[in-house]
Amino acid sequence: MPSSMSQQILLSPAELSYLHTSLSSSPPIRPDGRSSTQFRPLIAETDILPGTNGSARICFADGTEAIVGVKAEVEKSRARYTHADEDGEGIVEEDEGRGLNEWVELCVEIPGMRDDDSMPVFLAAMMSEALLADGEFTRRLYINRRFHWKLYLDILLLSQPSSYPLPLLSLTTHLALLLTKFPRLKSEKDEDPLFDDDWDASVFLYPRSSTKSFDRPPVTLLVMSVNGNIMFDPSKEELSVAEVVLAVSVGERSRSEEGDMVIDSGKTRDLRLLAVRTIDPPSRLTHPGVPNALNTATGGSAADTSEKASGQRETMAEGSVWQPPRGGAKRHQIAAMIQKVLEQGGVAEEVMAGLDGVDLG
């Protein structure tokens, strides 16, 4: 598969400069006319594979497509040795219902890439990080003290990764997990598990209620910033001029009836930040433009040594020709980006509301 082709940025310094300028104006002008928080349209399909515990397919407008299948198997838990001998049963109680990270196996497959290529490995690590961050997820896989569910998440990207595929994969995984069902447990306590073979009686991994909001699997969003402008769901072209790119993972907890109810009574959803990762933007690999001062064709003089050339570039005024971004992200910039995701009426809420709109079979 011509994978390297889609990774390459085929824009000239002039085009990059144009894109950068239009994205830096306020409000930013995006190439496809979206507003800064607007997402591209997508098509979602759920429960497509009867052979899995949960499955989903999402098709983005740029033609990228992903399928996620979740399969669960009952596995014997490793015997856990607690230090309960001296202190009595207190600690054992605490251990009850706790999960281990090894109960979840997550694989990302990207066409044309080997399993041990950096991209699939990195994507899988980021997604499992978000999933396992608070330990809530593995708790759901607990059956009894001797058995647990082993969950296999197979994430397939069907098309070439034209933009950074993380949001696509994360949304698809989210839907698949939301639909994941286990057969109802009939046995009690620590017996060998016995399940109801009536699939209609099966229970959801994430039980839901129609009235109030419920626990949801995490969603990872891609946020980028250009010159202080924060934009969501960047396309491939936009990423090629990004200064900071963050992958922000957000989870939702069910509203508890008491306690902290008072604190965030104004909010409609209880959103929690699970993980943040900076992503190396492809803009760093772009070729810089040649300013007039360095171009012999326009009367400038080319630097004799590469050291001199880079020295001249360092001191060059900003905004003349395209320069790949240098340095890291400022702290307040990252804070602003996260704030934008999490704030009330912010993007995360919008995404969750949008996902609510998907027909969940």
> Which residues make up the interface to other proteins (CB under 8 A)?
1-2, 48-52, 55, 59, 62-65, 67, 69-71, 73, 107, 109, 111-112, 114-115, 152, 154, 156, 158-160, 162
Kindly tell me which of 154 and 349 has the beta carbon lying closer to other proteins: 154
Distance in Å, CB of 154 to other proteins, minimum: 4
Distance in Å, CB of 107 to other proteins, minimum: 6
Distance in Å, CB of 239 to other proteins, minimum: 17
Distance in Å, CB of 63 to other proteins, minimum: 3
Kindly tell me which of 138 and 180 has the beta carbon lying closer to other proteins: 180
Kindly tell me which of 14 and 61 has the beta carbon lying closer to other proteins: 61
Kindly tell me which of 202 and 213 has the beta carbon lying closer to other proteins: 202
Query: Helix axis angle, 331-342 relative to 347-356, nearest 10°?
Result: 30
Kindly tell me which of 52 and 225 has the beta carbon lying closer to other proteins: 52
Distance in Å, CB of 47 to other proteins, minimum: 13
Distance in Å, CB of 110 to other proteins, minimum: 10
- What are the backbone dihedrals phi and psi of residue 93, each rounded to the nearest 5 degrees, phi first? -60, -40
Kindly tell me which of 116 and 188 has the beta carbon lying closer to other proteins: 116
Rounded to 5°, the CA angle 170-23-62 comes to: 40
